[in-house]
Structure 1
Amino acid sequence: MDNWNDLKLVLAIARADTLGGGAAALGINHSTAFRRLNALEEKLGVRLFERLPGGVYRPTAEGERVAATAERVETEADALGREVGGRDQRLTGALRVTSSETLAYSLLTTELARFRQAHPGIVVELVVDNRILSLSRREADIALRVTRPREPDLFGRKLADIGWTIYGAAAQFNAGTVPEASPFIGWGPEVSGIAAADWITERFAPQNIVYRASSLINQFTAAKAGLGLALLPCYLGDTDRALRRIVPEPIEGLTRELWIVTHADLRKTARVRAFFEIVGDGLVAKSSFLRGNGVA
């Protein structure tokens, strides 16, 4: 196999378990991925994937071997890229940043404008994604996360605590104790592992969940429209006068930490250091607001 793109295709399909998912990860269309995979299997004379019902692609023994090799090559290439990139002292070029949708919607854009003003030669590519993207695989150069980094090859800085509480439409709900029978906006059934979703499930009966959405921005909008109460981060709920806090103080046990994170190999890169200083310091200055203690 003399074509790195073939290796990347096999690895992407193996990770996604579907041809469409692999194609999307590579930024190509389904038919192109289908054609390339068939050509590769014909060239090698082996089946790399079993085609199962529901569009599932399961690697054969040969496919697993090719995917494992591709992963090793990817790891080495990423490490080389970080090593070379980590020595880059230019304040020009692209910087790929990932953030949750709520942070991007409310506070981050103002800080990015300040960063752009200070360093007009740097183009920020913002990936709004609630998943934790891999900094080791260079899916992003910098991540703003609500979890402390655990991986030993990452470097991070805590910026603030994030408070959460219950909000409702100001014209419809009064501040005070939330009755168990209150109409509530919840998360979709596909969401798991999110503290806010678990908190709602533990305290409100299913019949009181009158609306569900997997997007916090949509929950925020639905609460403003009066569909029900919503559990929101204070930095989002406090930005709109159409909402009021139904529970006045941030709820104990739901506070999360906001971190700015990069790979250790990139921490001394000029673009990364500049972003940490300007955007990181800007968010630190708003830490009281992020905790839910005041106006930004």
Structure 2
Amino acid sequence: MDDWNDLRLVLAIVRTGSLTSAARSLGVVHSTAFRWLAALEQRLGVRLFERLPAGAYAATSAGARIAEAAERVEHETQALDRDLLGADLRLSGRLRVTCSESVAYSLLTPAVGAFRAVHPGVVVDLLIDNRALSLSRREADVAIRAARPREPALHGRKVADAAWALYAAPALLAVHGPLDPADLGAHPFVGWDADGRGVNSADWLERHVPEAAVVYRTSSVVNQMVAACAGLGVALLPCVLGDAEPRLQRALPEPLSELDRELWIVTHADLRRTARVRAFMDLVGAYLARRRDLIAGSEPAATPPG
């Protein structure tokens, strides 16, 4: 096998478990990936995947062996890529930044505006994803995460404590009365759909709010906020969203200590000296730190209208 693209195809299928998802990750259509895999198997004279029901693909021993080799090649090329980028002293070029939807909505977009005003030569690609994208695999250059980094190869700093609280429209509380922590099921709630599995706020709601009380579900935290503003139900939101929204008020006065987190800005250690990475982390990190009281839920909330 002398074509890195063939290795990438096999690795993508192993990682995603389907040809459709692998094609999407590689930026090709399904039919192209299908012909590509068929030609590769014919050229090698060996079957690389078993086709299972519902479009699933399971690697044969040969496919698994190629995927292992592909991961080693990928690791080396990514390390080389980071080394070269780490020596880049230009304050120009493209910078990939990832964060959650709520951070992008409430904090990062104006911070990027402030950064671009100082460094107009840097183009920022914002990848909004609640998953922790891999900085080692160069899925992003900089990440803003509500968790202390555990990988030894990551470098960054804490910019704030991050708190969550329960919020509702004043009109909803006027109809249903004050929220009773001992009987949350007496109020309608906005919650997560199936995509919320493993999300801390979704797990908290599942433990404390009866399923029958959840009247509206969505995978978007921002849409949960909008639904609460419309009076659909009580929503569990980051304080940086809820406290800044004048159409909402806290349904309980204090943030939920169980959901306390830390907000960090991080990059891979190999990229920390890259000029545009360093400039972004310095400027945007300082911008976020200046808003630490809002992020931590200790800044006075917006006053609801009326």
Shorter-chain TM-score: what band?
over 0.9
Deviation at 1:79, TM superposition (A): 0.4
Partner Cα separation in structure 1 for residue 243 and residue 23 of structure 2: 40
Mapping for residues 230-241 of structure 1, pairs under 5 Å: 230-241=235-246
Contact map agreement 1:170 1:241 (CA 8 A) in 2: no
Q: Which amino acid aligns with 2:25?
A: A
Superimposed CA distance per residue, residues 119-169 of structure 1 (whole angstroms, 9 cap, x where no aligned partner): 001111111111110101100000011111111111121110111100111
Q: CA RMSD in A?
A: 1.4
Contact map agreement 1:146 1:257 (CA 8 A) in 2: yes
Mapping for residues 76-95 of structure 1, pairs under 5 Å: 76-95=76-95
Q: Does 1:203 align with 2:205?
A: no
Q: Which amino acid aligns with 1:105?
A: Y
Would you say how many aligned residue pairs link Structure 1 and Structure 2?
296
Partner Cα separation in structure 2 for residue 236 and residue 32 of structure 1: 43
Partner Cα separation in structure 1 for residue 300 and residue 143 of structure 2: 25
TM-score, reference length from structure 1: 0.97
Moved more, 204-213 or 184-193: 184-193
Structure 2 equivalent of residue 214 of structure 1: 219
Q: Which amino acid aligns with 1:4?
A: W
Structure 2 equivalent of residue 177 of structure 1: 179
Partner Cα separation in structure 2 for residue 239 and residue 23 of structure 1: 41
Deviation at 1:192, TM superposition (A): 2.2
TM-score, reference length from structure 2: 0.94
3-state SS of the aligned residue for 2:123?
A: strand
Structure 2 equivalent of residue 8 of structure 1: 8
3-state SS of the aligned residue for 2:267?
A: strand
Superimposed CA distance per residue, residues 83-124 of structure 1 (whole angstroms, 9 cap, x where no aligned partner): 111111110101110011111111111110010001001111
Deviation at 1:176, TM superposition (A): 4.2
Q: Does 1:291 align with 2:283?
A: no
Structure 2 equivalent of residue 97 of structure 1: 97
Contact map agreement 1:176 1:248 (CA 8 A) in 2: no
Structure 2 equivalent of residue 269 of structure 1: 274
Q: Which amino acid aligns with 1:271?
A: R
Mapping for residues 51-90 of structure 1, pairs under 5 Å: 51-90=51-90
- Runs of at least 4 residues of structure 1 off by over 4 A? none
State the percentage of identical aligned residues.
56
Partner Cα separation in structure 2 for residue 225 and residue 26 of structure 1: 40
Q: Which amino acid aligns with 1:44?
A: L
Consecutive unaligned residues in structure 1, runs of 5 or more: none
Deviation at 1:198, TM superposition (A): 1.5
Partner Cα separation in structure 2 for residue 112 and residue 170 of structure 1: 33
Partner Cα separation in structure 1 for residue 244 and residue 28 of structure 2: 39
3-state SS of the aligned residue for 1:139?
A: coil
